[in-house]
Amino acid sequence: MDRSEFERRFVQCLERAALDASSHFGRPFKQPYVVDIQGLGGGIGLSIVAATDRLFLSQDQFFLVIDVGVWAIRDGAVAFFVRPSGHPPVSWDRTWDPEANGPFKVIVFEKLQDI
């Protein structure tokens, strides 16, 4: 799993999380997207590329789980909560969903944050 494929799957997860949030909240959540990383020293309002740089460990080591969900609208952008698990890194085949999403796990918040 190289970095570009990892980023492609990350974007797919963001889009899936936006669709799930749209269903839950009854409104569309479309780009632009920004990423708020919880853990890893944090990072608010990161681009997808910058977030991928923090989340991609190596071609053979990955976070076990990375939670992803829409949690706010900020300055017209959809803000995603992204939290990698604190587990030791694992190979792709030991991630949350190795057959499809790898470490990416969509979560849906009950309400949007007021930030």
pLDDT digits 0-9 by tens, 36-46: 999 888 899 99
Per-residue pLDDT of the chain (115 residues; tens, 9 = 90+): 999 999 999 999 999 999 999 999 999 999 999 999 998 888 999 999 999 999 999 999 999 999 999 999 988 899 999 999 999 999 999 999 999 999 999 999 999 986 5
- How many C-beta atoms lie closer than 10 Å to residue 68's C-beta? 26
Give residues with Cβ within 8 angstroms of 89, minimum separation 6: 57, 58, 61, 62, 63, 64
* Residue 113: per-residue pLDDT: 82
Three-class SS of residue 68? strand
Residue 81 confidence (pLDDT): 97
The answer to whether the peptide bond before residue 32 is cis (omega within 30 degrees of 0) is yes
Q: What is the dihedral of CA 52, 113, 14, 63, to 10 degrees?
A: 50
Tens digit of pLDDT for each residue in 99-112?
A: 999 999 999 999 99
Is pTM beyond 0.85 here? yes
Instruction: Report CA 88 to chain centroid distance, whole Å.
Output: 18
